[in-house]
Structure 1
């Protein structure tokens, strides 16, 4: 009986071992989705990159400059011809006037020829790029069909939200300071666009005279700070500089950290006289009160040092910026900044009222280094600014337009009286302007309003 019981158990064990499942498990996945065409996506990306590299702001700026220059030269030619018709004596005067008009016609013809070439190139460029963009658009619409989970649509919605947020921040991103190759006349100003920023700040309609801008050499942690100086006493004096932690704060009128006071009284020794002031490396440079001197006020130490200008320098509104209808009071000294530091523009009795330019060294106390003399009369100028070691001067054209008509290159010593770059104004008088190399913007104070214009350069 025992033997019979054992045999079936052994047989059962054997059978069980033979039927044990295998360790390997395989399954076949069948997808209903089409294979994504990565080669088509790569081709579309390359085509879009080609469009971006082909169409550049420099090409459109060249066309705009030619059109603007031509629109200004033609009325001037018409005036010259009209004057010749009225005053021609048939002899020497007529010959000279005809020679001038002949030169103007030749220059205008050159501009027209260049404009025709540029326009033809732009037309061909527009047609080619338009067709390429249409092809890319069709290709991307075809590729979106593979996006069954609508990932692309969500990304596009996120990009729109991000773009709107960036616009609200209003240039809150801190740009990097421009590289050193812009210093010393290696770049040429070719156009001004804008205004990009236009605000009355926290005092709408108040304080007609003043200045504002950014520090081209800010202290660490203060890269986004902006400053404003308002002439609060008789449109002539100021005794503090007002600071803002960002451009947005300035626009909405929230001054943090607030005012930094030079002196509790106004006016008195070392307070500001005139609107043409600048901030550089944490120090405010301005025309000292009732003196032919530049004051430097350190915003951290609150100390003031001064720099006496050459004997004969005109001050106390004896050498102002002017145009035919009026002069801007107490603009004898104009402080300016660019990539290389601080400059001062003034005039002297020895120079018969012509512009004089000097470089201000950051020594203690500050001192003048080199000085350049120009042949442009200061009272025919409404304002000046520096960029890339070049002095630029403006003049009043109309209530809506200011012209950058003159330049002086400190590297070569060359003067140019036909710069011909125009600024679109929102108010009649530009009372101070200064170039900021931090963001390559021209900061303008115009009848209590603050504006910024983008400066476009061409590398030499």
Structure 2
């Protein structure tokens, strides 16, 4: 019940009229038969509520998640180093060095544990304080409800109950239909049944500076690079980027420790600049839409050499066929690079195919070569993102600020497409600017309004 509701109620409370005649004038005395409304109590509740909201924020909760994840990754790395040390047979040549590395990792773990204990202690105190304040607010609002003579609060609660019942009915009518079953001979995963998560959720070291970007792992890493992660932010107008940032582990990425930057060019936008947020890393090469062209760029992150291959000349680029929904378009997402168990694909649209999605396999030679192509009847601007799993293309759409939905699939083996999938993704932020599937861990890597997240694909 808002303050305006309460003030209205004060106007319609019972009044007693006393009429008397003084000379030729008729005078009425009004007396309130109810006690005065305790406005100071409502003001106190509003103040306490505002203070709670200021103290308990998503950033604080994210801080705890980051510390826990960092600790988990550090312990895992320590276990791996201990195993390596146990297997070493070098007559103690490197034993001292290995022990020193382990000693440093112990120190880092102790530091993380200290920070974690301090954070948890602060949360316990905050939780106890908030619980007491909520009880006081609940009791006060119960007292104030006695002034609701028109029973507006009771009627509002009944309306909310009816609305919840209607939503439950709608959800039952929108029961999720099963997506296509992947044949055992191809990947053996079976039917995708849901998307769980997020499993990871964090701001990058850039905080909220850049709302467009991409991140993930090398789908086909070189030996020794299996734990590396990469990050690209579009630092110029949410459209262009010119370097790749790499981290040794997930925990170092989340904590922003020890990045290695590899520059494609000295500035942007210029030749070979990254254009749009839909890119992937495969076999130590970044695949992306070249600046101001309808070409695929392959950037070797070791040699820094760039190779290109052109798509059909009527391919949409420079924001002609971007991903979109009724509320917005995702700038310069004309080309979407995806990975699955078999390699790299590029998803795009052409005028000759009426703006509908086309799938082309990218052969990852140097220079890259365009492989087999499939045409679909999915109009690209009706989707917000795409990804591939075991040769099946999936497309997502925007439902509301909290939900993204996988609604479409195209099987490159059978050439069958469906528009009736209803697999929901629970979002942390409003928009998903980047989404890709990693077959190594079967996770979706998402960049959403400056946040990086992972979701688990659940198969039957």
**TM-score if structure 2 supplies the norm length?**
0.61
Q: In structure 1, what is the equivalent of residue 234 of structure 2?
A: 231
- Indicate the SS of the match to 1:187: coil
Report the Cα distance in structure 1 between the residues aligned to 2:258 and 2:278, rounded to whole angstroms: 21
Q: In structure 2, what is the equivalent of residue 219 of structure 1?
A: 222
In the TM superposition, residue 449 of structure 1 has moved relative to its aligned partner by 0.3
In the TM superposition, residue 246 of structure 1 has moved relative to its aligned partner by 0.5
Q: In structure 2, what is the equivalent of residue 362 of structure 1?
A: 364
| Aligned 8 A contact 2:385 2:434 in 1 | yes
- List per-residue Cα deviations over 1:120-166 (Å, max 9, x = no partner): xxxxxxxxxxxxxxxxxxxxxxxxxxxxxxxxxxxxxxxxxxxxxxx
Q: In structure 2, what is the equivalent of residue 270 of structure 1?
A: 272
- List per-residue Cα deviations over 1:204-241 (Å, max 9, x = no partner): 11110000001110011100000011000111100001
Report the Cα distance in structure 1 between the residues aligned to 2:253 and 2:195, rounded to whole angstroms: 23
- List per-residue Cα deviations over 1:161-214 (Å, max 9, x = no partner): xxxxxxxxxxxxxxxxxxx96846863322100000001021111110000001
CA RMSD of aligned residues (A): 2.4
Q: 1:440 to 1:72 in 2, by over 3 A?
A: farther
| Aligned 8 A contact 1:406 1:415 in 2 | yes
After the TM superposition, which of the residue ranges 372-381 and 362-371 deviates more from structure 2?
362-371
Q: In structure 2, what is the equivalent of residue 383 of structure 1?
A: 385
Report the Cα distance in structure 2 between the residues aligned to 1:187 and 1:309, rounded to whole angstroms: 33
- Indicate the SS of the match to 1:248: helix
Q: 1:183 to 1:269 in 2, by over 3 A?
A: farther
Report the Cα distance in structure 1 between the residues aligned to 2:169 and 2:322, rounded to whole angstroms: 31
Report the Cα distance in structure 2 between the residues aligned to 1:362 and 1:183, rounded to whole angstroms: 20
Q: In structure 2, what is the equivalent of residue 251 of structure 1?
A: 254
Q: In structure 1, what is the equivalent of residue 67 of structure 2?
A: none
Superposition pairs of residues 5-404 of structure 1, within 5 angstroms: 74-75=169-170, 183=186, 187-256=190-259, 258-404=260-406
After the TM superposition, which of the residue ranges 319-328 and 181-190 deviates more from structure 2?
181-190
In the TM superposition, residue 77 of structure 1 has moved relative to its aligned partner by 8.8
Q: Which runs of 5+ in 2 are unaligned?
A: 1-165
| Aligned 8 A contact 1:183 1:339 in 2 | no
Report the Cα distance in structure 2 between the residues aligned to 1:303 and 1:265, rounded to whole angstroms: 16
Q: 1:313 to 1:73 in 2, by over 3 A?
A: farther
| Aligned 8 A contact 2:189 2:459 in 1 | no
**TM-score if structure 1 supplies the norm length?**
0.61
In the TM superposition, residue 308 of structure 1 has moved relative to its aligned partner by 0.3
| Aligned 8 A contact 1:444 1:451 in 2 | yes
| Aligned 8 A contact 2:280 2:339 in 1 | yes
- Indicate the SS of the match to 2:210: coil
| Aligned 8 A contact 1:185 1:411 in 2 | no
| Aligned 8 A contact 2:330 2:433 in 1 | yes
Report the Cα distance in structure 1 between the residues aligned to 2:350 and 2:171, rounded to whole angstroms: 32
| Aligned 8 A contact 2:298 2:308 in 1 | yes
Report the Cα distance in structure 1 between the residues aligned to 2:450 and 2:240, rounded to whole angstroms: 15
- Indicate the SS of the match to 1:267: coil
| Higher Cα radius of gyration | 1
| Aligned 8 A contact 1:345 1:356 in 2 | yes
Report the Cα distance in structure 2 between the residues aligned to 1:228 and 1:72, rounded to whole angstroms: 39
Q: In structure 2, what is the equivalent of residue 423 of structure 1?
A: 425
Aligned length, in residue pairs = 292
Q: In structure 1, what is the equivalent of residue 24 of structure 2?
A: none
In the TM superposition, residue 255 of structure 1 has moved relative to its aligned partner by 3.5
Q: 1:339 to 1:227 in 2, by over 3 A?
A: same
Report the Cα distance in structure 2 between the residues aligned to 1:424 and 1:269, rounded to whole angstroms: 38
